Chain A
């Protein structure tokens, strides 16, 4: 049996004696007798070597693909070594939320640096210290915009489906209406947006680039929404932000997104990172922890959790959100990632993703039976029709060691390329497609 209890058996009985008890079970006098568990139906405790073998066995039953052309909300990017080494530092790993600022300046400063990085990427004034993931960030952003008079949200149908379902679940909980704005040729139908807006609409949410990889007409959406008095929330890909017009420049009120592409592994879906940024006017509606700069009694620059009166531990049932623990270490990973890539490096990552996607798109669409589904600019994802059943196609790719794009239905596939896909890999994929789709 393994154990992390340091005191010896003798020490434990000394402690027990000191408090005047005879057995460990005496500590549980308050627990009704019939409730005490006699034995748990669990395996016997194991040694470290046994445990690591068990875990290797689980891991061994998963298939790791080297050639990945699937995104759809989780992206395969290069993670610099320094990211992994920094977040493995035990002080960061084993600390709690930095309530005691005097001995937590390291974490507090790193969050402040992270907030600055998110603000820079999104073009916004302020960011929080992170939330659970991109989907919950979107749901929380909708809550930020609701008031007594405006309670509904208009949400583009072209967003990642799990973000949609999470928005729906949170909104159902709050008894708030969510209306889906239909799509037209893979983008939000602008005329439909116009006709759905009314003075009870609190926010319009759309994703840029959208689920199909396409760029929405952000300017038009924002202008139309603002004319109707609604706030605009943009869900954005942080890598694309290195290149594309920012929510700040475009006039959006809130920017949210999934931070996983910034140095976090695919990890079967988590832990990931939800980022949220907004303008100063709405900063007190941001949920979660926020770090601010201040000084100590000696006038030295220091950082501290601030604007805490928004939060659940003070506002209780009047708090807008219940979040406390977030994804702090993932936020640190994102911060180290962005700093390691640097100003030009992140632009290069984004450009390589885009360039490779354009190359792949052209190569796939040159094959007989494959054709692009939506016209227009895309970032690093795109949808093609395929001449055979998409699931069947995927199986055949898998036999060749390739994780193909995500089948959206029988005939459409959502492809993704990143800096991880070499030209050789892409050419191999195209050769394989040529062969199996015949």
Chain B
């Protein structure tokens, strides 16, 4: 398929702007660029067809089952989009006088109150634009807390070896040294290893619960207590909150700071990689350090407030506001009964789908899983030569987005499956049938899976060539 730049034709254009109604002014020569940016020249139908063609080469949740582990690819309700498009939200300048943006501020404080209730936290900042951005903020808050309390030398963050890569990367961004502790067989924290790791240099612990093997760590209270007793704070990575939202609360587990992924748990669209939102909730001990421009309800209306010892800002303005609008819509729709019901059904779907295939595919853990489960394909690969990658590519040919591959790192040939609550029993059964078919094919005709996919717009790519000789932009023809 051609690029925008390849379908461009000299002289084509859309008619978008009125004629200039004031005298034309020009920048002086010395400030001007020497040649125009080579943007395409197209008519509206060219552009419209181009993007329609691109959309047909894109698989979204609305195209089919998307059980991408750790990403919570649930259905994105249409009403949320309608709300976000209201002119009262979309056409408001972020620097308008406060009395003209009372609706936005009330919305943010209401969303804050509800998300605090769901997580068991005291306050929440909406500034972070994504989960990793929330991690950065959370760690900046922990760092500010220790600094404020004169806790010198607390410069280590403990992270289980099953953690998402963002955890250690975020810790490093705030100058913390990462101490990796091994996981037990269920992917949970090894208590002895944790006890050995904590000390006077512990700034905190970062944890995902349920963990990346899809298991709820039953020792959670003991874990957070060990860290608290050592003088550290506990950070909850909210990537997996969908398993327990409304059922159990990080705030009750001993966590001092959490980040949420509104684009995972609260039904806002992923947009091909963003925009999401990564709000950070904190207990009272961290409130004095929250980012600047925190919305607050006063007796006579809503306003912004800067915390006493604010860490500053991690982005401009107040976060991905329109994403918060969508998430609030979602919360209001589900309400007090619907929130836990969503979590319960996410867990039910995951257990049911695991049940349908666990006789032929070994799982990384035994027993009840939470919202996701991890298939361990090492035995299949040894037996048939068919890898987790090959199974994933086989799924592509059958209209299913593959699970997360090769994660967590502690499981070899891992496929991490997260069906979510918005898939029906029949979809789960069809997906299980496909996985059973692929398992049979791995034994009968492994070569066909090494060759997969064959029905997709392109087939397996030369990723080595792409990385060795990076071509990162269109090369215009010479002359």
A133 within 8 A of B: yes
Q: A271-B323, A321-B169, A328-B271 are in contact. Are A2 and B247 (CB under 8 A)?
A: no
> Within 8 Å CB of A59, what residues of B?
83, 86-89, 103
Q: A30-B216, A293-B471, A355-B23 are in contact. Are A2 and B338 (CB under 8 A)?
A: yes
The closest CB in chain A to the CB of B177 belongs to: A317
A185 within 8 A of B: no
B472 with A283: CB separation less than 8 A: yes
A304–B139 Cα gap in the complex (Å)? Answer: 32
Q: A271-B129, A351-B24 are in contact. Are A46 and B332 (CB under 8 A)?
A: yes
Q: Shortest distance in angstroms between A323's beta carbon and chain B's nearest beta carbon? A: 6
A173 with B174: CB separation less than 8 A: yes
**Which size bracket describes the interface of B in this complex?**
35 or more
B335 with A106: CB separation less than 8 A: no
> Within 8 Å CB of A309, what residues of B?
467
Q: How many residues on the A side are at the interface (Cβ–Cβ under 8 A)?
A: 202
A128–B55 Cα gap in the complex (Å)? Answer: 21
> Within 8 Å CB of B271, what residues of A?
92-93, 95, 327-330
Q: A100-B396, A103-B401, A268-B92 are in contact. Are A32 and B221 (CB under 8 A)?
A: yes
Q: A100's contact among B34, B95, B103, B392, by CB below 8 Å, is which?
A: B392
B56 within 8 A of A: yes
A113 with B4: CB separation less than 8 A: yes
> Within 8 Å CB of B165, what residues of A?
311-316, 319
B467 with A307: CB separation less than 8 A: yes
Q: A65's contact among B71, B93, B107, B173, by CB below 8 Å, is which?
A: B93
B414 within 8 A of A: no
Tell me which of B9-17, B193-201, B228-236 binds A.
Answer: B9-17
B58 with A317: CB separation less than 8 A: no
A281 within 8 A of B: no
The closest CB in chain A to the CB of B20 belongs to: A352
A253–B56 Cα gap in the complex (Å)? Answer: 37
Tell me which of B311-319, B375-383, B439-447 binds A.
Answer: B311-319
> Within 8 Å CB of B273, what residues of A?
96-98, 107, 129, 289, 325-326, 328-329
A336 with B51: CB separation less than 8 A: yes
> Within 8 Å CB of A51, what residues of B?
79, 83, 329, 332-333
> Within 8 Å CB of A115, what residues of B?
472-473
Q: B321's contact among A43, A85, A116, A267, by CB below 8 Å, is which?
A: A267
Q: A42-B114, A82-B48, A173-B136 are in contact. Are A102 and B315 (CB under 8 A)?
A: no
A326–B164 Cα gap in the complex (Å)? Answer: 17
A266 with B140: CB separation less than 8 A: no
B458 with A126: CB separation less than 8 A: no
A215 with B31: CB separation less than 8 A: yes
A296 within 8 A of B: yes
A187 within 8 A of B: no
The closest CB in chain A to the CB of B90 belongs to: A265
Mask, B393-422, CB within 8 Å of A = 1, is 100100001100001000000000000011
Q: B106's contact among A29, A58, A80, A339, by CB below 8 Å, is which?
A: A58
A237 within 8 A of B: no
Tell me which of A157-165, A195-203, A225-233 binds B.
Answer: A157-165
Q: A292's contact among B83, B170, B471, by CB below 8 Å, is which?
A: B471
Q: B39's contact among A46, A89, A346, by CB below 8 Å, is which?
A: A346
Which one of B39, B68, B459 has the highest number of Cβ atoms from chain A below 10 Å of its Cβ?
B39
A338 with B340: CB separation less than 8 A: no
A207 within 8 A of B: no
> Within 8 Å CB of B421, what residues of A?
4-5
Q: Shortest distance in angstroms between A219's beta carbon and chain B's nearest beta carbon? A: 9
The closest CB in chain A to the CB of B186 belongs to: A30
Q: B218's contact among A32, A55, A403, by CB below 8 Å, is which?
A: A32
Tell me which of A243-251, A364-372, A429-437 binds B.
Answer: A243-251
B477 within 8 A of A: no
Q: Shortest distance in angstroms between B309's beta carbon and chain A's nearest beta carbon? A: 12
Q: List 29 A-B contacts (CB under 8 A).
A: A24-B348, A48-B333, A55-B83, A59-B88, A90-B62, A93-B60, A100-B401, A101-B458, A102-B456, A102-B458, A104-B57, A112-B473, A112-B474, A116-B474, A125-B472, A160-B316, A173-B143, A215-B31, A270-B315, A271-B322, A296-B460, A313-B166, A325-B132, A347-B36, A359-B25, A377-B28, A394-B97, A395-B97, A403-B93
